[in-house]
Amino acid sequence: TEMRIVSLADPAQDAEPGTDGEILIRGPQVMKGYLGRPDATADMIDADGWVHTGDVGRTDEDGWLYVVDRVKELIKYKGYQVAPAELEALLLTHEHLADAAVIGVYDAEGNEVPKAFLVRSPAGEGLTEDDVMAYVAERVSPYKKVRQAEFIEAVPRAASGKILRRELRDREKTDHSGTTDHSGTPEEK
């Protein structure tokens, strides 16, 4: 069995150790394709037999693999790939946050940007969105900064504990009066 991590920007290139990329696998025990679905098979398995898992990961210097997100969840900000799970993990280190979720939303210029949905801890009563965005900005590369934030009562989760990002995206599309907001930007609501 073989595993590679390829660049998110150029899947023909292997990612460097420590750099996020898509995890690819191949081997005799890996599926050969979808029964009766050649198009779906071609989307997932390349000509060299590598299965594109849709998982984002990185390896360290010792070869350990870390799965960090899903390709379809990545936020594409000005040519960079931002993993929501990485920002969520950082947000949860803030002493006044009890929970957090991040999705991509569009700003007034049409750029996809990270937006954090935040749940205050009991001690976080005075915490503001700007405080949280500054906290993140001090700890990440400029392209990974949270650009929008909103406090909510609870992060929607499945019974398994998985964040229901679809519900957060739906929340973004519908304003508080129940009408659909087609702009996609909170500033235009």
Which residues, in sequence order, are CB contacts of 138 under 8 Å at separation 6+?
A: none
Q: What is the pLDDT of residue 82?
A: 92
Report d(CA 70, CA 165) in Å as an integer.
Answer: 12
Claim: this prediction has a pTM higher than 0.75: no
Q: What is the pLDDT of residue 173?
A: 84
Q: What is the mean pLDDT of each run of 10 residues along the chain (189 residues)?
A: 91 90 93 89 90 91 89 89 93 98 92 96 95 97 96 95 93 58 37
Per-residue pLDDT at 48: 92
Supply the pLDDT for residue 124: 92
What is the predicted pLDDT for the residue at 166?
92
Q: Name which of 75, 77, 69 is nearest 53 in CA terms.
A: 69
Q: Which domains does the chain have, with CATH numbers?
A: 2-73 (2.30.38.10), 75-188 (3.30.300.30)
Looking at residue 177, what is its pLDDT? 38
